[in-house]
Amino acid sequence: MKVKEKTILFLLIFFLAPVLSSCASTSSNQKEVTSAEQMAREIESSKRVRAMNEKLLMSTFSTKTSPRRDYKIGPQDLLEISVFEVEKLNKTVRVSSQGNVNLPLIGVLKVKGLTPEELEKEIRSLLAEKYLRDPHVNVLIKEFRNQQISVMGAVKNPGVFDVTGAKTILDMLAIAGGLRDDAGQLLFLLRSPKEEEMSQKGKGDYDRRPETFVIDLEGLLVEGNLKLNVSLLHGDVINIPVSGKVFVGGEVKHPGGFTRGKTMTLGQAIIQAGGLKFEARASETRLIRYSEKGTGKEVLSFDVYAIQKGKEKDPYLKDNDIVFVPSSVVKSLIGTVKDVFSASFGIGKVSVGF
C-alpha cells in the first residue's frame, strides 16, 4: 500500500471512529432503556398481583365456613327436613341421582337445582294445600355432594378440584394457590347450559355453548366488590389468562385468547381466530374494552367487512380487549335450510356467498 493511500485510510479511521462509537453507544443506550422499561412493567405487574393475592388471603380468612343459603341442591346431597308442627314428618333423606326425594304426605318431589330456602317454600306450599295450616319447614344440608370445578390459566396450582359444599370464585382462587405474577386483569367463568335449557332449546352445537361471565379481578380483590364473587356450580371452569392477551368470541371458527404481541389489530385478531363463520354478522362486531382501573367498560362497534375491504380503519387492540362477532338470524336460517337440503337429497354442502 502506498504512503498516500495509508494516509487516507488513517484519516478515515480517525474521523469515523467517534461516529461509529457514538452509534454503538446510542444502540446500547436504547437497548438499556427498552430493558429498563420492560423490567419496570414486570415489577409493576408483580406488585399488582401480590396486592391481589394479599387481599385474597385476607378474604379467605374472613369468609364464614357455614353453608351458604344460595347453594343449589343436587344429586347425592343429604337433606334434613323438619316440619315443626308434626314430628312424624321430619325426615333425613338423600337426593337420588335423578334429583328427587320421597317425602311423607307429599311423595316424590324434584329438588335438584333448588336452594334450601326455595325447597322450604315448596314443601310449605304443598303441605298447606291439603294437610296443615301455616306449616313451618326447615331444610338443612347435612352432607354435600362432591363437585368438580376447574381452575385454569395463571394460577399457582391449576387443575380440576373435587370440592364439597358451596364455593365461590374467591374460594377456588385460594384453593388454587392464588394468582401467578403474569396473571391478567380479567377472569373468565365458563358455565355449561342447564339440562332444562338444553331440553327446551335442542341439542345442537350452538345450544351447547357455555355461558361466559367476565370478572374484573382488581374490582373483586382490591376494591372488594363482593357482587363479583359469583357462587359456583358443579362443572364450572375458571380461566385466568396471562396478561397481554386479547379474546375473540362469537361467530369465528376458533374462538379463544390470543397473545397480542407489540401490536395487533381487530382484523388480525379475527384472522388469528380462524376467520369468520358463515353465520357471522360481522358488520356489527363489538369490541369490549375494560378500563385500566377496572371501573367500567366501553363497547365499540365496527364493520369487519368494511375493514377487510380497506374502507374503514383497522383499530389497534389493547390488553384484555374482547372482540365479539354476533350471529345473523338470516344466515343461520339459510344454513339450517342448506343442512336439511343436503341431508334430504344426499348431496354435499352448498356454498352460498354474500
SS3 readout for 133-157: CCCCEEEEEEECCEEEEEEEECECC
CB–CB of 166/231 below 8 Å?
yes
- At 59 the pLDDT is 61
Dist CA 105 CA 283 (whole Å):
59
Split the chain (354 residues) into runs of 10 and give each run's mean pLDDT.
Answer: 55 51 50 48 60 66 51 89 90 93 93 92 93 91 86 94 88 93 86 61 52 83 86 90 85 86 90 92 90 68 94 91 84 48 39 30
Q: Which residue's C-alpha cell is 396450582? A: 157
Residues carrying CATH 3.10.560.10, the chain: 146-242, 244-354
Of 172, 158, 154, the C-alpha closest to 63 is 172
- Helix residue ranges per DSSP H, 107-257: 116-130, 169-175, 195-201, 217-221
Hey, what's the cell of 300?
A: 365499540
Dist CA 198 CA 205 (whole Å):
11
- At 1 the pLDDT is 55
- At 295 the pLDDT is 52
* Topology annotation, domain 78-143: wza like fold (3.30.1950)
Q: Which amino acid is at 217?
A: L
Strand pairing of 100-103 and 78-83?
Answer: unpaired
CATH code assigned to 244-354: 3.10.560.10
CB–CB of 281/251 below 8 Å?
yes
The listed CATH number (3.40.50.11720, 3.30.390.50, 3.10.560.10, 3.40.228.10) that belongs to domain 146-242: 3.10.560.10
Q: Check residue 314 and give left, alpha or beta (phi > 0: left; psi -120 to 50: alpha).
A: beta
Residues carrying CATH 3.30.1950.10, the chain: 78-143
Dist CA 187 CA 176 (whole Å):
14
- Helix residue ranges per DSSP H, 248-303: 266-272
- At 352 the pLDDT is 31
- At 104 the pLDDT is 92
pTM of the shown model: 0.54
- For residue 211, the tally of other CB atoms under 10 A from its CB is 11
